[in-house]
Amino acid sequence: MKKFLTLLTIIAFVSFQAFGQEKEQNVEKLEALEADNVAVAQDTIIQDASEETVAVTDSIDLDIAVVEADDEVSFQIGDKEITIRDNGEENDSDDEDEYEWENNEEDWENVGGARSFEGHLGGFEFGFNSFGSKQFSTSIDGSSSDWDLNSAKSSSFNIILPNLDLGFCRRIGIVTSLGFNFNNYRFDNNLTIDKDPVDGITRAFDAPAGIEYEKSKLATIYATIPVMLEAQIPLSDGNALNFGVGVIGAIKLGSHTKVVYNDDGKQKDKNHDDFNLNLLRYGVTARVGYKMFQIYGTSYLTPLFEDGKGPELYPFEIGIALTFND
């Protein structure tokens, strides 16, 4: 309908202009037509597979041809041609908005906005823990040999909440979170630990005569805050290898010892105490992984016990992690 009204308007405008420019010729022709009482009108419709052509010739011999296609209308007046195109403003605007949004997303990722960086920290960690007589050491010297652990049964379990990310670029950023660290130090010898009632120093005590401990362990719970710098190396399959290093701080929430033995049946004794364990500790941590699977390691630079109130032992742990990432 819109194109039809446009057609009528243009024909009227062109006709009026033609009459104005060739006034004398038109008058003569009109008089001749009046005298002869002849009016000639011809409408021709030509249609093919790609377009529909309408040609209209009026009584004043104006040669006007109209060609209508899917998205345009052309008017040919003599050797002049006028073309009106339907630009589809609404659709083009939508397409342009979508294109601009997609480009903004791509540009955002290219410049490495914080939203495009996704770290690998939050999840669950399963590992083994132990301690050494020195920082970054895995062995215990002779003076603390009573504290030898059954490494295969000394386990750790960590829960880390979904991480917060601060991206420097798409593949490098800072990752942090809040976690909970559960350690079980399983003693290899027939002993348990407690504070010495004389000087208050935490020491190892042998089991009572005739008692053989089936299990003896020290259990601790810490709240942790790891902060890591992570870098990712893209692979050909579209995923990436991730590497992270950082620091970790922790505050002790609880601790106890547990012994299991037979004495007229199975007996279990628990002793809840602080055992002179350091309330706060810090260390370094690192991990490497692919997608949601990680290998991690943490070594604490703070001794397990307060200075002078127990043996100088530095905890560490190593294990695997399953992160919340796809």
Q: Are 319 and 296 in contact (CB under 8 A)?
A: yes
Q: 64 — phi, psi (to 5°)?
A: -120, 125
The pLDDT, as a whole number, for residue 203 is 95
Q: Which two tokens stand for residue 290?
A: 């692919």
Sheet of strand 63-68, all strands in order from the earlier edge strand to the far edge: 42-47, 52-57, 63-68, 72-77, 80-85
Q: Is 296 helix (H, G, I), strand (E, B) or coil?
A: strand
Q: What's the pLDDT score for residue 70?
A: 61
C-alpha–C-alpha distance, residues 123 and 322, integer Å = 6
Q: What is the pLDDT of residue 101?
A: 43
* pLDDT value for 79: 65
pLDDT for position 114:
44
Residue pair 14/65 in contact (Cβ under 8 Å)? The answer is no
* DSSP code of residue 244: E
Region class of 88: left (phi > 0), else alpha (psi between -120 and 50), else beta: left
Instruction: Output the CA–CA distances (angstroms, integers) from residue 36 to 24, 40, 42, 57, 115, in the order listed.
Output: 18, 11, 18, 19, 84
The pTM (predicted TM-score) of the whole model is: 0.65
pLDDT at residue number 41: 38
The predicted structure's pLDDT at residue 88:
55
Residue 184 confidence (pLDDT): 97
* Backbone conformation region of residue 108, classed left if phi is above 0, alpha if psi is from -120 to 50, else beta: alpha
Tell me how far apart the alpha carbons of residues 163 and 183 are, in angstroms, rounded to a whole number: 22
Name 312's Cβ contacts closer than 8 Å, sequence gap at least 6.
133, 144, 303, 305
Per-residue pLDDT of the chain (326 residues), as tens digits, is 444 445 455 555 545 454 445 555 554 655 665 555 434 434 443 344 444 444 444 444 555 666 666 666 666 666 666 666 666 554 444 554 444 444 454 444 444 444 589 999 999 999 999 999 999 998 898 778 889 999 999 999 999 999 999 999 989 999 999 999 999 999 999 999 999 999 999 999 999 999 999 999 999 999 999 999 999 999 988 889 999 999 999 999 999 999 999 988 899 999 999 999 999 999 999 999 999 999 999 999 999 999 999 999 999 999 999 999 76
